Amino acid sequence: MNENTLNKIKIVADIVKQHYEPGRQDRCLKWCYSNIVKKLYPMSERTFWRYMAIAVNRFGYEFKEKGETFYLDKIFYKMQPQTIEKIKDVAESILDIKPKGKTKNKVYNELQERTGMQINKSSFSKYILVAETYLGYNFNFQ
């Protein structure tokens, strides 16, 4: 992820931190997204949840009450170890291609040509999301 995106994540997380009140449904994370963040920084709800997961995992923000989990956390923590290893293999192969400044689509095509990995585009996008959010990879796509 590039520096501007990381800064935007911190800004969004700070905005949410000001308005979020644990235990109050009228001040929950979804309310913060719908009534505040979306108006200031138009983004999809999925992007918002990704930003919140990154804010917690990379920057140490605390938004959750005990027992609460983010959408991406649910996906990641249910993954089988072999799936996580495959994601790491794909991430390392992407880094070998030197993705900085290239589009995701171009990197996907190069990955298919060079390695012959049979991954559909939907899985490729999810792998990138997990690798950047939870495994600490930074691809710097265009």
Are 15 and 36 a contacting pair, CB within 8 Å? yes
Q: State the DSSP code for 67.
A: T
The residue to which tokens 């559909």 are assigned: 120
Per-residue pLDDT of the chain (142 residues), as tens digits, is 788 888 999 999 999 988 888 777 778 888 889 999 999 999 988 889 889 888 887 888 877 655 555 656 666 667 778 888 888 888 888 888 888 888 888 888 888 888 877 888 888 888 887 888 777 778 877 7
In angstroms, the CA 127 to CA 108 distance is 11
> HSE-up of 6 (CA within 13 Å, CB side)?
12
Would the pTM count as exceeding 0.85? no
